[in-house]
Structure 1
Amino acid sequence: MMALPKGMRLLAAATLCIFVYMLAQIFRTPGEMHFPTTPPLKKYQEWDHDPQLDASGEPPEPLHRVQGDNYGPSNPDSDRIKATIISLVRNEEIDDMLKSMNDLERTWNHKFNYPWTFFNDVPFTEEFKTKTRAATQADVSYHLVPEEHWDIPSWINMDLYHESVSLLDEFQVQYMSKTSYHQMCRWNSGLFSEHPALRDYDYYWRVEPNVQFFCDVDYDVFRWMQDHNKTYGFNINIYDDPHSVATLWPETLKFLEDYPDHVHPNNAREWLEDGSKRPENYETANGYSTCHFWSNFEIGALSFWRSQAYRDYFDHLDRAGGFFYERWGDAPVHSVALGLFEDKSKIHWFRDIGYRHIPFWNCPNNDKCSGCVTGQFTDGEKWLNREDCRPLWFKYVGMD
């Protein structure tokens, strides 16, 4: 057999070296990986706080702060923009809702007096109305979710739904057997923004019962979003149970085949698809990393959910039935849509807003915060630190 020329042998050797180097990079452990501008990542089980929180949590200037009565509750010419705080809540959650209201009013809204807008699938009781009105100086309104937005859609096969519930119950998918939870996720995913009560608003801040806010925030968060052209603000970014969203990504890929033009050129698709840093024994959901913004805290522009891209996407998912046959939550649905259809630079981490929704926290290094430990991420269960997906977001998008 004729020997290869010396030049070809050298080229083959160089190619082999490059191949071996690439394999070594692929099989490096998460603890060995480095982000471009951050400290080395620890293994998830070793995380006790996010090193990014060691820096100040101060937001960038310019800010809109209270001067005189420019945010007074009765000022018809106030500096408030078209924005509201929203909550989907049940009558029996009144005590937990008051805890959340009192915290947000104390740390922020007593200065700005943005209205509260409450939704329920049944009429609110007089007790609920009386107590919530007493918790704020701002306007408060109460609204029913339309039956056609809450009822299980006619195209859902109920036999298949019940079979799916039984199957995913075996995998211990949380809330799978609660029909109202599926209805809530569907409504929060794509129908809340269509409610007539929000017709005149441009921005919203979602607040749920039994959450906590720890930091004094002295600027108009909504105006900051508007001034900086931000579409969405998140606080906590975690992984989801892959069993609950097993077909979400395959259905998304089907949608993208029909609507490729909806994908934004500066998207965050890598964040959605990179499963390399998932904790040990975790799986991706058919190509989806399951990273998502925890939507119990979200500050957003309603225009995104009303856009043609999102309406087309939600309608596709709704017809696919995964809100009932699986347990597609509004958090992964919102996150996938934002990651694909929005400019990732328009998504902001509100690192300066201290927040807790059991069992996760966001506690900044900020002297305006009290009641939590700087960098705290969980309720003390260290194994939960592996759920933190912010490192991937910082890697592909950055910290803004």
Structure 2
Amino acid sequence: MALPKSMRLLAAVTLCIFFYMVFQIYQAPAPIERPSSGKLKEWTKDPQLDPSGEPLEPLRRVEGDNYEPNNPNSARINATLLALVRNEELEDMLQSMRDLERTWNHKFNYPWTFFNDKEFTDEFKKRTRAATKAEVRYEVVPKEHWEIPSWINMDLFQESVAVLTEQNVQYMSKISYHQMCRWNSGLFFKHPALANTRYYWRVEPKVHFFCDVDYDVFRWMQDHNKTYGFNINIYDSPQSVATLWPETRKFIADHSHHLHPNNAIEWLQDKERRPGHNQKANGYSTCHFWSNFEIGDMEFWRSRAYQEYFDHLDRAGGFFYERWGDAPVHSIALGLFADKSKIHWFRDIGYQHIPFFNCPNNPKCSGCVTGRFTDGEAWLNQEDCRPLWFKYASMD
């Protein structure tokens, strides 16, 4: 017996959807175009030197005891190294500290500020203090900054976990991961311990630093009036931020006065390089600065534009119903509300957070291969979003 027309139509539509999804899954991503050899030289040169190798302008360096830890007239400015870390991550944190102290901070002795949602153990304090000559501070995240907000519907959260876990969104079921992303997005700079601090360098456990850096990075940020410094720039999982750009567009519709005239919105909206990402993220390219390394001016996060933007996102619930990370949230805000000329790529700082590298072409670096982007599978090279940043924003 022949099937009714309506059932034949339904079957046809179902097959179409099935083949479309198969096509999307197996479609090869567009290859990342590497810059020409001339452009590559610009990427990898020391940003502080002109073509002859001479400094572009005076840099703040160690002279005598001007950066000694107990010098009351130190050349240090109002800045700190900052880490959100748990007691059980002590060994990994020590790894990061040893690398950064060896390559940079043993010269400049900027303080370390550690944050935890619980009290730090005596062992954590003892061993981290022994890893540096600089001052070390230990702070607890206020309960009201870490708790799940009252407006989050936990039944909806659990449903979202089930759906996005099916779509292979990592860490979706870990409540602490959502709390961490929310805190890093809009609350860390509100901690009383940072009330009078302006600049920070975020350092995570189990990262590597490869290059000897002999100038005061914080003073460089201040002297050049920079808002933000990044190291690695990649694509995000579009399923994890599916509604982030639509919510951002809602915010912009009511707050267009916050848009900076020299913004980087094209970088955020590019749909040519990874069209599947742009489609699944509803218009967002998913390019973002990988915030496990960031050097920033907290005055930007404290600005009215960012505060209102974060509050809007927070109320929308995407930190829990999806997996909005602090990296895309920070990056979208910077791309819209900051002067893109004040965002700097620290290409001279060699760095690794598994699985990605920034390996400069610089004799001051050791332990990584020049130009390497990943030590993972070859397809991970396609996650590099720096070419888009240079196309739309800046080589700085």
Unaligned runs of 5+ in 1: 1-28, 42-49
State which of 142, 162, 165 in structure 2 corresponds to 1:169. Answer: 165
CA distance in 2, matches of 1:193, 1:54: 31
Cα deviation for residue 258 of structure 1 reads: 1.0
Distance in 1, matches of 2:138 and 2:32, equals: 52
Instruction: Name 1:17's counterpart in structure 2.
Output: none
1:267 counterpart letter in structure 2 = N
Instruction: Indicate conservation of the 8 Å contact 2:340/2:394, yes or no.
Output: no
Matches within 5 A, 1:65-214: 65-214=61-210
Give 1:235-314 correspondences, 5 Å limit.
235-278=231-274, 283-314=279-310
Relative to structure 1, is the Cα distance of residues 33 and 386 closer, same or farther in structure 2, using a 3 angstrom cutoff?
closer
Residue 219 (structure 1) aligned to one of 215, 220, 240: 215
In structure 2, the CA distance between the partners of 1:149 and 1:69, relative to structure 1 (3 Å rule), is same
One-letter amino acid matched to 2:36: P
The one-letter code sitting in structure 2 at the alignment partner of 1:363 is: C
Q: Mark the CA change 1:53 to 1:361 in structure 2 (over 3 Å): closer, same or farther.
A: farther
Tell me the CA shift for residue 31 of structure 1: 6.6
SS at match of 1:143: strand
Between Structure 1 and Structure 2, how many residues are aligned?
A: 361
Deviations 1:277-319 (A, max 9, x none): 1177884410000000000000000000000000000000000
2:36 counterpart (35, 39, 49): 39
The amino acid that maps onto 1:79 is A
CA drift of 1:55 comes to: 3.9
Q: CA distance change for structure 1 residues 54 and 238 in 2, over 3 Å: closer, same or farther? A: closer
Cα–Cα, structure 1 residues 170 and 140, in superposed 2: closer, same or farther, change >3 Å? Answer: same
For structure 2, the 5+ residue unaligned runs are 1-28, 49-55
Aligned-partner Cα distance in 2 for 1:281–1:188: 24
State the superposition RMSD in angstroms.
1.9
Distance change >3 Å, CA 31–CA 128, structure 1 → 2: closer
Deviation at 1:87, TM superposition (A): 0.2
Amino acid at match of 1:354: G
Q: Structure 1's 269 and 304: CA in aligned 2 closer, same or farther, altered over 3 A?
A: same
CA distance in 1, matches of 2:390, 2:255: 28
Whether contact under 8 Å (2:263, 2:340) holds in the other structure is yes
Counterparts of residues 358-373 of structure 1 (less than 5 Å): 358-373=354-369
Who is 1:51 aligned against?
40
Alpha-carbon separation, structure 1, partners of 2:210 and 2:165 = 36
Alignment CA distance shift 1:53-1:358 (3 Å): farther
Cα 1:191–1:52 change in 2 (3 A) is: farther
Cα deviation 1:110-150 (Å, max 9, x = unaligned) = 00000000000000000000000000000000000001000
Q: Are the equivalent residues in 1 in contact too, given 2:278–2:286 (CA < 8 A)?
A: no
Q: Secondary structure at the match of 1:85?
A: strand
Q: How far 1:239 moved relative to its partner?
A: 0.1
- The question of whether the paired residues in 2 share the 8 Å contact of 1:58 and 1:366 is answered with no
1:39 maps to a residue whose letter is: S
Q: Which runs of 4+ in 1 moved over 6 A?
A: 29-34, 279-282
One-letter amino acid of the structure 1 residue matched with residue 314 of structure 2 = D
Q: CA deviation at 1:399?
A: 1.3
Q: Distance in 1 between matches of 2:267 and 2:160?
A: 29
**SS of match in other structure, 2:261:** coil
Three-state SS of the structure 2 residue aligned to 1:333 is helix
Deviation at 1:209, TM superposition (A): 0.1
Partners of 1:175 and 1:32 in 2: CA distance: 27
Map Cα deviations across residues 95-124 of structure 1 (whole Å, 9 max, x no partner): 000000000000000000000000000000
**SS at 1:205 equivalent:** strand
8 Å CA contact retained: 2:235, 2:383: yes
Counterparts of 1:118 and 1:161, CA distance in 2: 30
Contact 2:68 2:109 in 1 (8 A): yes
Check conservation: 1:53, 1:375, Cα contact below 8 A. Answer: no
Aligned to 2:13: none
Q: What's the CA shift for 1:57?
A: 2.5
Amino acid paired to 1:80: R
Q: What amino acid does structure 1 have at the position aligned with 2:104?
A: W
The answer on whether the counterparts of 1:71 and 1:111 sit within 8 Å (CA) in structure 2 is yes
Separation of aligned partners in 1, 2:75 and 2:316: 43
